[in-house]
Structure 1
Amino acid sequence: MTLANIHAAIDALKGHKVMIIGDLMLDHYMIGSVDRISPEAPVPVVRVDRETSLLGGAGNVARNITSLGGDALLVTAAGKDPDGDLLEELCNESRIRTKIIRDPNRPTTKKTRIIASNQQVVRVDQELNVPLGEDESLVLFNFLEEIIDEFPVIILSDYGKGVISRSFMDRFMAMLDQREKRPLVLVDPKTVNYDLYKGVDLLTPNTKEAGEGAGFPVTDKESVIRGGNALFDRLDCHNLLITMGGDGMALFEGRDTIRHIPTFARKVFDVTGAGDTVIATVALALASGAQLLTACTLANYAAGVVVAQVGAATASIPDLTEVVDELPEPRVTSW
């Protein structure tokens, strides 16, 4: 894993295609200050100074891919409402191609965070967590049948809002089995849906999610290895990447080969969205022809970039090049 090989892998990212299927959300922020308590109830009164909206959920995964020079297609659902219109606008601004199925029977998933003096006061969620209806599913799979062969890598970005469901996975995996050249399937898991992901190519849980899937806490080297084996037993996935925050990553290339990739974060301000960055970078690198270990090493560098920023940030090719040049050659070890 030389620096020359890593730079070559970074240079190869641009222009490759990745499809993201999953739950798109609108992250809405109301930011202001508090100087009194409400006379109506013992709660703070927030005087809002500004508002902003960002792509959340699968949208943030897609935004990470375009930030790295990739060609992202986001396949998702939203309501027939102004928030759904805003999501389409934000995707266009981020150069994300989309197939957004507008469902009149569900609201667009929206998470409003009210923030005062850099502290979140409350979060308000507007959502309907049910699977897509039959009509919407038909539109989705008709579209996938037409375009899926163009994409070597597909990310399932599951936030438990209904796009990824048992009926979807059964039909989706059957569709892939019929392809002459089957795309790789990467999943950022939602723990309540673990049993939906059987047979996928790569699962990318953090230690908390890995522990929830394995049935015991995953906190150190020994428990990471045990937890990884438990997930293989449960899901029969092909590969597994457990992200361990400041302790780096554990990459299971099958059951028998485990490699530890150290963290490349120079400083940590905010881990928001780091998981989105990891799976986006791995997917784009695999689409460009990189080996899995190289792809995960790039993802670790990218995660190190975004955790040094506040909010759901993204990494760019210049960011990756800069951090690779600043840090020593990575020492990947076998476990």
Structure 2
Amino acid sequence: MTPPPGRRRATIHDVAAEAGVSRGTVSRLLNGTSYVSSDAREAIEKAIAKVGYVQNTAARNLVTRRSRAVGFVVHEPHELFLDDPNIGAILLGANEVVSEADFQLVVLVLDSERDSQRVADYLQGGFVDGAVLVSARQHDTIAGAVERLGLPAVFIGHPPGHPTIPYVGIDNRSAARSVTEELLRTGRRRVAMVASALDRDSGSDRLAGFRDALGDRFDPRLVVDHPLYSYASGLDGARELLRRDPAIDGIFAASDAVAAGVLEALRQAGRSVPGDVGVVGFDDSAWAVRCVPALSTVRQPARLMGRRAAEIVLGQIQGAEVEPGGALLDTEVVWRASA
């Protein structure tokens, strides 16, 4: 409980006096540093409730030099952060692990270069003990700041140029190749792609996997790219592909959100799915089952990625050595009505 205005804030001395124990005994119980008898524990807990004591976390952090907070840094526009269920699942997974360890997850969203500098200053100020970095780009400002600070950190994904920061991710290239191959097995002959986020590893690897699957049949004119994994990217991208080649009969969208936009563009153009055009996405997010028809896609374990990332960061905070490289989690192709 918080004392009402004008009332003196209860201290650890008040708790000790009310409980009839020493200040050191109260301190040991609150900090969990050593054994306290059950009788003393019960007396202290009753005293805390009676005097309204609230532990001063800020003061404790000054002594321990720990914030007991982990930053969740997302390099995406604000609207995409809210619309992308994949990011939400990663966040929930990370928060589960952080909460279990009695840490706080602090969400930091980067929507501009000004945001990047502000967040870099925040990290340098010691407000978090570590960070989970989501959607990092090549030459990412925050990743560079984290390396300079030596801050415990982990990437979701694997942007190039930061070998000292471990990562958790999936094999985007192999997964994209697999889902494209499945699309080709349905008899499609003119298969295109709406690529996105080519400035980060997930986007560039998915395009590489698409090329792998097509081999000699790959036609660069049948690839359009947009900077974001968004519905608008799919809508605009599919319209452009139909303009370039009306005979397209298959489209691989770089994410489920992109695929949802593709489906709407095809509907507006009078193309049936999967009759005229087969469509596949990537993520197996909430978009996949809400689309009509439901999306064939790649399932990636977003929530598990968040959990693994948080476990790695907490391990570093507690002194574990940073293992070079990272962990790749399994994916699977999920086949539904869109192809």
Structure whose CA Rg is larger:
2
TM-score by length of 1: 0.29
Instruction: Report which of the two has the higher share of strand.
Output: 1
Instruction: Report which of the two has the higher share of helix.
Output: 2
